[in-house]
Structure 1
């Protein structure tokens, strides 16, 4: 198993964000985490990437415990995080943003090769490589955030609300990008408010409800589950 989270709890002060969460991510495929606002989806990703320390439980990546590591060490192990709201460096150019993703890497030629691959995957970023990031559209900024994560040479990609605030046609493009990244061998953990999209893309799904797991299973089967359809798909 690529990633194992066992009995994980995160508290912000006295406020419980997640409690006793256990989930696994296999080599390959897409795992999604869905749930309502405040369910703990983003906190779960932040826990995996070392940004939100665990109060209880543990997280293992390729058999190694990582929940005791600082975020930069988690990135160095091969876990990349595309955060909610993109959080690009607005005052840097597109290329400068991308190169920040490779900050911890020492393999210069491989970094240059990966930069070329990102530009091949996102031609609009190549066209705008010297443009200030803050001047780009929301969809372009999302592509930049994904490209920056790919520059870490990830073994696991965490994506937090990649469709948020984007036009439907751009959402479809982002969905194709996620599928393509996964097809190239990078497993993905996808957090999405758009449960319909998430369950269409994913192989396996976890449903969070106020910080606790309420359901899990094959994504297609959960898409047809009456509770999930009523609570999260509006059907």
Structure 2
């Protein structure tokens, strides 16, 4: 069932609520995505709409490439993590180690969603540059390949690709990222298969929770928000209200 414009606007407003610690960045990224989505929409309305909607619905040819279940799973885990944090003062078994593990899992799930979003963005990029593409093939490319496609594009995607921490992405995908409770710091190993090298690194909780995590989740939220803006385009009053939030 497709949401009403009223519900779309409410969902959109919720994305920019005061709980988001990087709200200004989220507004900026959403605005830049919206510009590119608008450009693609003006070039090919139907293809652009299907590409963005494929995150939830899949495509006409393949409904299985929809990623709504993955998104719902991430949201469920994220809420569990948030609720665990809120229980800090009343939960006698509250553990920083457990919380850190939950945050790491949150990051891994968020990045997997980022990768699925990158698939759609690569397709939008191909459309913008009048290049052929097949989302069913691009869907199976690695995160590194997708990022390289965007960084090498004639279209500037750096506002989004710069948000992705390559070191943490590699470490978490190989289960080489963990929280060292004794020293109160996140640690990991960056394994570079191409260079056959391994380097240790560390990240402070402040850096991980204050910059890296918000950047990772902002990719998800900005994509959803920019997609909602597309849905609201036919409804002038709703569209103007939504646009005013990020201007």
Q: Structure 2 length as normaliser, TM-score?
A: 0.28
Query: Larger % of strand: which?
Result: 1
Query: Larger % of helix: which?
Result: 2
Larger radius of gyration: 2
